[in-house]
Structure 1
Amino acid sequence: MKFDHKVVAAKWDETTSKWNMTVRHKDGTEETKRPNFIISGSGLFSTPNLPDIKGITSYNRPSFHTSYWDHSVEYHGKRIGLIGTGSTGTQTAPALARAAEHLTVFQ
């Protein structure tokens, strides 16, 4: 296992039945590995997938992805819009609904 490394490329080689993988170390150096398999432990929120909604970047109210939860935002008694019904949206919705004045879920 390698922790704190970034996989910058991984391509399956049919002829050798191995991966050609380039790994970047914390110091910025890169190394090529040829493993039989790769197990990703990056986690669900390593790269948030933001929705392509016109005006989302100019919205002037608190707005954030659940992987970057802003604990300074007071949402009790507010009108909240929750975008997404994946596992995190489903887990977040009940607590938001109890605290909010109104919760709208966009699927």
Structure 2
Amino acid sequence: MWIFFLDKKEDSMPENQEFLYVLLASLLGIAGHHFFLSIGLTKTTTSNAGVILGSVPLFTSIFAVWMLKERLTLIRIIGIILGLIGVSVIVLTGCQTFI
């Protein structure tokens, strides 16, 4: 992040208050995520954790459509449906194989 600021002109550098916000956001964004993830994983079963962790990219795509107004194309819909099915099948079958 700081490399981005070093490449910019002097007038585009964040003010002192903005540096505090950037520092706070970076700490909470990384450390907070891992802290709450580890707490949550200790409170649930491994199959639930697998569903949650496996579906994060899928929900990121869904939220991008909803919040960022990304286009919802047919290929994206098919990918989300197949991803949800894949995560569910892998987690719900446990150690069984499909060979």
Q: Same fold, TM exceeding 0.5?
A: no
TM interval, shorter chain, is under 0.3
Higher relative contact order (CA 8 A, sep 6+): 2
TM-score after normalising by structure 2? 0.24
TM-score normalised to the size of structure 1?
0.23
